[in-house]
Amino acid sequence: MKNIIFFLLISPFISHCQEYVDVLKLGYSYSNKAKFKGIDESTTIKSYNASITFPIKLTSKYAFLTGIDFSSNDLLLSPNYNQSTILYNTLLKIGLATTYSDKWSSTFVLLPKIASDYKNISGNDFNFGVYAIAKLKKNKNFKYRFGFYASTEAFGIFATPIIGAYYLSPNNRFEIDASLPISANVNYKFGKYAIGFDYFGIGRSYNISQETAIAVYIDQRPIEISSYFQYNILEENILLRAKVGYSNNTYEVYEQGDSLDFRISAFSFGDNRTQLNPVILGSVFFKLEAIYRIHFKEKNKDSQI
């Protein structure tokens, strides 16, 4: 326990080079009347997510990473279905963070997961991912990162390179945190408040059994862009966010076994699949988030704009 507490307070290993780790993240989003293309019908989309990250210090150079992510999406996949479908995703994080020098460090994480409606769990519900990132510290305010993410999905293999950076202004008020094409966050702090912009765009798939006579899966490819207002509590250890944004609500239904060759980032190869539900169009969404964050070093309380 002593090593765990010590690591959470001072170690620089975790969370993509930032000077903090988000130990707990909770979120709820709601989208009203996401329309079906070519049909005078729509669906609401309700989503929940929770993420726990638990690092353990092993030595001065190594740290064991563990945690779990859970999410659910409740929506009507087609006007022809009798009821809405709840899509669940549970992902386990198991990895190692390594510091090589004052400038270089890396993170490697294995990501086994179960993604389905959780009605009749089988081998088709299980998938496996891997995340690897290298980080180069340019100076105390700017750090590069590059790596890749890959996973098995119901539609085949998905992979994407990751290129990004982290920047914190000398006065600790302006922050950029980008791991493109997966996520990006830009914000500016003033006192206990902050305003920001963020982006999220990584796909996943779900095995489904309860809605149709044949076994099907969902190919979800969200692209979410939002702005937010943030309130900081307890020296920025607790962050409360209210968001409004636009989401490309892609929930495509395909028969199990109807796959593509592979997908790299947003580009699909060998995709001759037949979609079984109408296209769900993009819509405005509202989201509430709560984050418990632990900082690694004391902030400069005398900083000015």
CB 14 within 8 A of CB 106: no
Beta bridge partner(s), residue 86: 74
Residue-wise pLDDT tens digits, 121-164: 888 899 999 999 999 999 989 999 999 999 999 999 999 999 99
For residue 301, pLDDT beyond 70: no
Report the pLDDT value the prediction gives residue 202, as an integer from 0 to 100: 85
> What percentage of residues in the chain have a pLDDT greater than 90?
72
- CATH class of segment(s) 2-295: mainly beta
For residue 304, pLDDT beyond 60: no
Residue-wise pLDDT tens digits, 190-221: 989 999 999 998 889 999 976 567 889 999 98
Report the pLDDT value the prediction gives residue 287, as an integer from 0 to 100: 98
Report the pLDDT value the prediction gives residue 212, as an integer from 0 to 100: 65
Report which residue type is found at 294: I
Residue-wise pLDDT tens digits, 280-299: 999 999 999 999 998 765 44
Residue-wise pLDDT tens digits, 2-33: 444 444 433 333 443 456 789 999 999 999 88
- Of 5, 7, 151, 143, residue with least CA distance to 69: 151
Specify the pTM: 0.87
Distance between CA atoms of residues 164 and 195, nearest Å? 21
List the Cα angle 151/68/267 in 5-degree steps: 25
DSSP symbols for 206-263: EEE-SSSSS-EEEEE--EEEEEEEEEEETTTTEEEEEEEEEEE--EEEEETT---SEE
Domain ranges of the chain: 2-295
| Range 298-304 average pLDDT | 39
DSSP secondary structure letter of residue 102: S
Lowest mean pLDDT across 16-25, 80-89, 91-100, 236-245: 16-25
Q: What is the mean pLDDT of the chain?
A: 88
Report the pLDDT value the prediction gives residue 6, as an integer from 0 to 100: 40
